[in-house]
Amino acid sequence: MTDYTAWPAENCVPATVQQLITRFFVLADTNEKSSPDEISALFTNDGEMHGLGGVFRGRPAIREGRAKSWNGIASRHHRVLTVYSRGKEASDILLIGEIYATLVNGRTLNTEFTARLIVDNASGNDPRISFYKSWADSAPWIKALTG
């Protein structure tokens, strides 16, 4: 997950925020009944999540969106490669990564993604994601889904 991650050299991303990012992607890659609840709990009450599946505002909507996030997917693995922080407080983060997925139709894909996270209470003991937005080329997904 984040074993290969290059964090900012100035160590400005607190361990609690690093753990939050790691937990987010572990849950994103876990197809368990409890995962949608657990991932929504990483967000503020009014947090937003933007991705290929749409825009979800608030914990209940994030939970519902995550419950559908495995439609058509047999397995997936995010690998965060590089993390950038805007400022020393690590409340505005940009990351670059790769995603490997196997679809239920047996096809596989490997593509890059970029994501932005805004973290509330980044310097505290209980940081939460208030905003998450990811970008990825949809062409590999479409090709894998449709052949």
Token pair 């849950």 in the structure block, residue: 27
Domain boundaries defined on the chain: 15-146
**Residues 106/73, Cβ–Cβ less than 8 Å:** no
| 6 secondary structure, DSSP code | B
Phi then psi for 128, rounded to 5 degrees?
-135, 150
Instruction: Determine the pLDDT at residue 145.
Output: 86
Consecutive 10-residue runs of the chain (147 residues): their mean pLDDT? 77 90 97 96 98 94 94 95 89 96 95 97 95 94 87
What three-state secondary structure class fits 138?
Answer: coil
Q: How far apart are CA 130 and CA 47, in angstroms?
A: 4
CATH of domain 15-146: 3.10.450.50
Query: So what's the pLDDT on residue 147?
Result: 75
Query: Would you state the pLDDT for residue 87?
Result: 80
What DSSP state is assigned to residue 67?
Answer: H
